Amino acid sequence: MAKVTVKKKDDAPGTLGEVRGYARKIWLAGIGAYARVGQDGADYFNALVKAGEGVEKRGKQRIDEELDAANQHIDEASVEISRVRGNVETGLEKIEKAFDARVGRALNRLGIPSKHDVEALSIKLEQLHQLLERVAHKP
């Protein structure tokens, strides 16, 4: 009997055979990539999650450090503001006392009695009133 040999399509000579061979390799590469992703994909995903957790932890730590530094600067500024406020208040009190003294001296030169003079006169008037009350009620 005679043997029949069947020629495979990939064995076809010429450009068409090369294109079919190349297309098959592309197909096999795609299937291989899909298989590799299926095997290594979960491990790669878990590695990415772990790396993300590390970055997040370092980020939070950095934010906490920056926040602490900012709060320290705010505390230092508050102390300095309190010190300056005290100096300003002391200065204003000195200016106020100097102003009151000058106004009092100016009024005194014009013959207008000061508050102290009016208070002293009121005390003397009250004493005189009490003396007159005692004399008026003596039998």
Cα separation, 70 vs 124, in Å, equals 63
Would you state the pLDDT for residue 39? 65
From the number of C-beta atoms within 10 Å of its C-beta (0-12, 13-18, 19+), residue 17 rates as middle
Cβ neighbors of 108 (< 8 A, separation 6 or more) are 114
Tally of CB atoms within 10 A around 55: 9
Cβ-contact 10, 24 below 8 angstroms: yes
Cβ-contact 101, 93 below 8 angstroms: no
Would you state the pLDDT for residue 18? 87
Between the CA of residue 127 and those of 24, 76, 133, what are the distances in Å? 127, 58, 10
State pLDDT tens for residues 10-45: 455 578 888 888 898 988 888 887 777 776 777 777
pLDDT of residue 74 exceeding 90, the answer is yes
Query: Which segment of 14-28, 61-75, 84-98 scores lowest on mean pLDDT?
Result: 14-28
